[in-house]
Homo-oligomer: A and B are copies of this chain.
Amino acid sequence: MSLTVVGSIAFDSVRTPFGERERMLGGSAVHFALAASFFSDVGVVGPVGDDFGDEHLELLRARGIDVGDLERVAGGETFFWRGHYEYDMNLAHTDDTQLNVFGEFEPKLSDRSREADVLFLANIQPDLQRRVRAQCAGAKLAALDSMNLWIDTERQALTHAIHEVDCLIINDAEIRQLTDQPNLARAAKAVMELGPRIVVAKQGEYGAALFTPTSFFAIPGFPLEDVRDPTGAGDSFAGGFLGYLDGEAAASGGDLVLDDATLRRAMAAGTALASFNVEDFGTERVARLERDEIDARLAALRSMTQFE
């Protein structure tokens, strides 16, 4: 089994009440891949510029991530985001966005990336997501994230893209906006009518909810007293979730299992990875994370949610 993610590879300059960093490695595909790498064989597809150094490649390779489809654009600069957070860290304030090489990005997947069993289309322009989806026609599970920008400006293209995936992983405010339905349970049902049979509503510090045609599951965010940088939490969640599903399939002989019990464990894995991600700036915490720390956090999450 293997997992391909297509999305942004970025340099992020971030300021929070707890410090600041200039030009850290970031981007949706990076946060996703690092999280997924604890469970699954993952490859990243996306463009970088001349400013993308070997130390950044090495950080990904050290986690076993396949970087063969990182496309280096000669003379280009890597996608750049600058933002900050106030004391209430639920809201990111964007100070600068420079698309750079991402503005002209046309994904070209290697055979290895095309043959992935699980595909994650991170939050990029919906027509790009569709063209990647078409290249990975054999994926057994395709999932997609998006954002308010595309709902506002590219709703029709986004609806087409959603129609072509099995799973939507998106912020709960955006599910409501996408479906014009303030009630989350009805909004999730409306998404299923577009195509996906698995809908994951990310709810920030409140956790995440999972809707399938026949079941509902919710898990709280892991309670942390110290959140240093929330950037990438949603992509880390998606990486933990899909990475877990792909890894379980590999462990059990190759068939992807999407029953309730497995999906719920994947929700817990996503929650754990998101919680580690926000404990330090950028990729710093996940880059030094150990598998036994994940297992301990999964056990803690279980004990925080069970009652008889």
Chain A residues proximal to chain B, CB less than 8 Å: 87-89, 176, 182-186, 189, 203, 205-207, 209, 215-220, 223-227, 261, 264-265, 267-268, 302, 304-308
Contact of A206 among B206, B223, B227, B305 (CB under 8 A): B206
Q: How many copies does the complex hold?
A: 2
Contact of A203 among B186, B206, B217 (CB under 8 A): B206
Determine how close the nearest CB of chain B comes to the CB of A196; give it in whole angstroms: 18
Q: Which of A184, A206, A306 has the most CB of B within 10 A?
A: A206
Are B223 and A220 within 8 A (Cβ)? no
Closest 8 pairs between A and B when the two form their complex, measured CB to CB = A218-B220, A264-B307, A206-B206, A185-B223, A87-B182, A88-B182, A185-B225, A216-B223
Are A225 and B183 within 8 A (Cβ)? yes
The verdict on A305 contacting B184 (CB below 8 Å), with A206-B206, A223-B209 known, is no
Are B88 and A218 within 8 A (Cβ)? no
Alpha-carbon separation in the docked complex, A248 to B19 (Å):
48
Alpha-carbon separation in the docked complex, A265 to B307 (Å):
6
Q: Which of A89, A205, A223, A227 has the most CB of B within 10 A?
A: A223
